[in-house]
Amino acid sequence: LNMTLSWLVIWAGALFLNPVIADCNITSQAVTCEESGKNLSNIPTNLFQNVTKLSLKNNKITLEDSDKKILQRFINLTELYLNKNIITVLYNNSFCNLTNLAILDVSNNRISTVHKAAFAGLHQLSVLNLPYNSIAQLDADVFLPLKHLTVLNLQNNFLKYFNINPSFKLIKIILAGNPWTCSCDLLDLQIWLTASNVTVEDENSTTCTLPNSEEKISIKTAVIQTAECKIAKASLENTLNSTSAIKHRSSALLTAPTANNITGSNGTQAELPVLGKSWTFLAGVLGFVLSTTLLIFTAIKCPTWYHYLISYSHRRLEENDSEMFEQEFSADSSSFPAVSDTNNEDPTVTLEKIHTFVPEDDGFIEDKYIDYYVTEER
């Protein structure tokens, strides 16, 4: 009796500290919790962690990080209904811990973006409902983690094309209600639908619109020129490769440090990219321009420097200069003492004798005190 009372007290305390407000139905095989239409903005935290079927439809749940953490607790969950909420993005690993989940319904939301790893970890998922959303593009590998998926519902979205992986396997797919375009972008999906023998539900309503026309044709029977698509695809790949090469070169030019290693803010040595050939070419051009400028400057300034360094100049005497020299010499000779009468030679003869002792004149006078510029002016 005491043991029974103890367990009752523990059970009552647990209920008091963590009351279960959800409408849950517990059976020997399943725990079903119904939380629909309660105007919830977040997934309740006080649910049974061993819940197997959880209905949260017709609420205001956005499936943000806090909701993702709560969902990770329900490892026994096999069915999850999040339809008619306000989810806009399915982020990576939104259901990563729900390894037993078999049915996931996120229809009638506002989903416009589905990340590549949004369904990672759902290894047992067999039914995925995504209709009545705003999905315009899906990654080709977004459904690859779903190895046991058999039914995929993409009805009434904004899909114009779907590049699906050829190895993707399904039993049934629903694609009606999307604005498919009968162009090369739809070729991969058309080939996959034919090769995989998947059942297309509402096939007659699953149509695509011809370019530049309002005519609608079945998505599986639309004539798409394979050869033209291959040429267009090859041209697009070449363009993308050229663009990526240009971006790579631009990024190489932008990373312009001259040292292979620098010290980071934490004191560690960070490896830096090696300079490309473009910098070598630029350095060569700059060197050529600088050397040419220096040569031109030297050629202009060299004559001026030459005149400053040379302190004298040789110049041939002109006739006027010779007469002036003789006059000055005569004036100087008149100041000499008079010659005695015993000397019968004329002064002119004396002058000639004097000149006989002068070394042969080469016509140049070398005098470092003669200013070259003054002589030029005279």
Q: What is the DSSP string of 260-325?
A: SEEE-TTSPEEE-PPP-HHHHHHHHHHHHHHHHHHHHHHHHHHHHHHHHH------BPPHHHHHHH
Q: What's the whole-number mean pLDDT along residues 326-352?
A: 51
User: At residue 166, does pLDDT exceed 90?
Assistant: no
pLDDT given for residue 259 in this prediction = 44
* 69 membership: H or E segment, kind and range: helix 65-71
d(CA 378, CA 369): 16
CA distances from 71 to 52, 96, 187, 370 (A): 12, 9, 38, 108
At residue 213, the 3 state secondary structure works out as coil
Model confidence at 25, pLDDT cuts 50, 70, 90, reads confident
Residue type, 13: G
Considering the domain boundaries, does residue 192 fall inside one?
Answer: yes
- What pLDDT shows up at residue 266? 46
Q: What is the mean pLDDT of residues 296-320?
A: 63
- For residue 351, what pLDDT is reported? 46
C-beta of residue 107 within 8 angstroms of C-beta of residue 82: no
| Model pLDDT, residue 101 | 97
pLDDT at 88: 97
Q: Give the rounded percent of residues in the chain with a pLDDT score beyond 70.
A: 60
With a cut of 70, say whether residue 334 has pLDDT above it: no
Q: What is the mean pLDDT of residues 255-284?
A: 56
Q: What does the pLDDT look like over 31-63, one tens digit per residue?
A: 999 999 999 999 998 888 899 999 999 999 999
Better-scored residue on pLDDT, 278 or 42: 42
Q: What is the average pLDDT value for the chain, to the nearest integer? A: 76
Task: Measure the CA–CA gap between 250 and 242, rounded to whole angstroms.
Answer: 12
In sequence order, the β-bridge partners of residue 261 are: 271
Cα–Cα distance measured from residue 159 to residue 185, given in angstroms and rounded to the nearest whole number? 11
Average pLDDT of the segment spanning 84-95: 95
The whole-number average pLDDT for the span 134-163 is 94
Q: Taking the C-alpha atoms of 81, 83, 84 and 86 in order, what is their torsion angle to the nearest 10 degrees?
A: 100
Structural domain includes residue 32:
yes
Range of the domain at 121: 18-237
Q: How many CB atoms lie within 10 A of CB 149?
A: 21
Nearest to 127 by CA among 106, 113, 96, 157: 106
Q: Whole-angstrom Cα distance, residue 264 to residue 34? A: 56
Is 243 part of a structural domain of the chain? no
pLDDT tens readout for residues 185-198: 899 999 999 898 89
pLDDT at 218 over 50: yes
- Mean pLDDT within 95-119: 96
pLDDT of residue 244: 60
The answer to whether residue 327 sits within a structural domain is: no
Decide if pLDDT at 155 tops 60.
Answer: yes
**Residue with more model confidence, 129 or 334:** 129
Angle subtended at Cα 18 by Cα 15 and Cα 20, rounded to the nearest 5 degrees: 75
Does 206 fall in a domain? Answer: yes
Give the residue with greater pLDDT, 273 vs 92.
Answer: 92
Domain count, the chain: 1
Decide if 184 is inside a domain.
yes
Q: Domain for residue 216, yes or no?
A: yes
SS3 category, 199: strand
Is 110 domain-assigned? yes
> What is the rounded end-to-end Cα distance, in angstroms, of the chain?
144
The larger pLDDT score, comparing residue 260 to residue 218, is at 218
Average pLDDT over residues 149-176: 94
Domain with 160 in it: what CATH number? 3.80.10.10
Please give the structure tokens belonging to residue 97: 């811990």
Residue 139, both tokens:
């990654």
pLDDT at 129 over 50: yes
**Helix (H/G/I), strand (E/B), else coil: 28:** coil
Would you state the pLDDT for residue 140? 87
104 contacts 74 by C-beta, under 8 angstroms: no
Band (349; pLDDT cuts 50, 70, 90): very low
How much is the pLDDT for 211?
81
How many CB atoms lie under 10 A from the CB of residue 323? 10
Span 67-72, average pLDDT:
93
Dist. CA 354–CA 106, nearest whole Å: 133
Model confidence at 11: pLDDT above 80: no
Identify the pLDDT of residue 229: 79
Interatomic CA distance for residues 67 and 50, integer angstroms: 17
The residue-averaged pLDDT of 232-244 equals 57
